[in-house]
Amino acid sequence: MASTLHLGASSLTGKSVNALVEEAFGTFEFPLALRLTNNTPRYLVFPDIRAELKPNFSTPDNQIDVTFKDHAQLTRFASDVDSLSELNQWAEAMALDALDDGQPDEVAAKAPAGGKGQKKAATEPKSPADTAADDAANTDKK
């Protein structure tokens, strides 16, 4: 069952983005693998799903395969696309296509999204100079 969802500004499409997501992917099980296609002339970055999409004139770099871990993550992503679309008046900003009935590959499901380097960077100790700078930045002025 191939399912495609086109997201854009809800004021231009006349449909709620949450209703569109529920209609298109409400019966799918998670994790859900989707191919995202950027139809805008802008470079888009979505940190929550670790996706970077080049503009629509950079084919095929304007597409990426992403695995959404749950329905809430997919809804947040769709809401972000809707907000960007409203600001820029894009009627069709993003296309979401289900991959192989929405189930991720075994290899992709086992590999962490951030990779090995990101976990290592998060566990590195801070130097005393960095700690002092962080403490100074976190003080409240009253």
Q: pLDDT of 10-41, one tens digit each?
A: 999 899 999 999 999 989 999 999 999 999 99
* pLDDT score, position 100: 76
Residue 138 has pLDDT above 60, yes or no: no
Q: Which H/E stretch holds residue 82?
A: helix 71-88
* pLDDT score, position 3: 82
- Token readout for 12 is 């231009």
Tens digit of each residue's pLDDT (9 = 90 or more) over 91-107 = 999 999 998 755 665 53
* CA distances in angstroms from 116 to 2, 8, 20, 109, listed in the order given: 33, 34, 35, 15
Q: What 8-state DSSP symbol labels residue 48? A: G
Closest CA to 84 of 50, 46, 56: 46
Give the mean model confidence (pLDDT) for residues 48-59: 92
Residue with tokens 């470079």: 43
Give the mean model confidence (pLDDT) for residues 47-71: 93
The reported pTM is 0.69
Alpha-carbon distance 83 to 85, whole Å?
5
Q: What 8-state DSSP symbol labels residue 100? A: G
Question: Can you give the length of the chain in residues?
Answer: 142
